[in-house]
Amino acid sequence: MKHLPFSEWIVSDEPLTEAQATELAHHLAGCPQCGRQQQAWAEVQLLLTRSTAAVAPAGFSARFVGRLAARRRVRHQRQIWVTFGAILAGSVALAIALLYAGAAGLAEGAGQLVKQLVVLRAALASVVDVIGHGVRVLPPGGVTLWRYSLLVALTGLGVATYLGLGGLWAAAVYRFASRQSRMGDTQ
């Protein structure tokens, strides 16, 4: 028995003409082999349809959203820890600066600054004198100046940390506010 073109028609994507359909039905009536093929093909088609429908299993989107939320939570916690660490570092820097200098140290630092300004003025005023007499003007302070510089650096680090955190905080608040307003727009 000739099974062509019937076995091809069975699996064809192209819709059959009315004449072909009649011919195929006639052949299938007398050919168990093509009948089995048609049945198998119908089952495959059914499986394909079912698997397409089951691409997103039940609860999938809920799980996806949950996982997304969890990931966002982890990122948020990490941001909190980074912020906390930065605050701690800035505070430690400030505390060291204050402990190191102490109230007396601060006064000393301020006095040193005034002294430096006075010396600078004197140096500028007597620059002709210095050149004329070949006298070198030594920088003031020595060890005290070094200590003062360290104090300034540590204080600056602490203040910069707090300023930076303030900026980050302001940016976060701004971003949150703009996101809220954007969500309000789309609703």
Binding region for Zn ion (CB under 5 A) out of 25-33, 87-95, 153-161, 162-170: 25-33
Q: b/e map of 152-162 (b: 16 or more CB within 10 Å)? A: eebbebbeebe
Place of tokens 């030594």: 138
Closest contact distance (angstroms) between CB of 28 and Zn ion is: 8
Residue with Cβ nearer Zn ion (3 or 182): 3
Closest contact distance (angstroms) between CB of 10 and Zn ion is: 9
- 73 binds Zn ion, rule: CB under 5 A: no
- 10 binds Zn ion, rule: CB under 5 A: no
Count, residues near Zn ion per rule CB under 5 A: 3
- Those residues whose C-beta lies under 8 Å from the C-beta of residue 151, and which sit 6 or more positions away, are 97, 100, 101, 105, 106, 109
Residue with Cβ nearer Zn ion (23 or 108): 23
For the chain, how long is the longest CA-to-CA vector? 129
Distance (Å, rounded) from C-alpha 42 to C-alpha 11?
Answer: 9
N-to-C CA span, the chain: 67
- 34 binds Zn ion, rule: CB under 5 A: yes
Place of tokens 């701004």: 174
Residue with Cβ nearer Zn ion (7 or 155): 7
Residue with Cβ nearer Zn ion (35 or 140): 35
> Which residues would be at the binding site for Zn ion (CB under 5 A)?
3, 31, 34
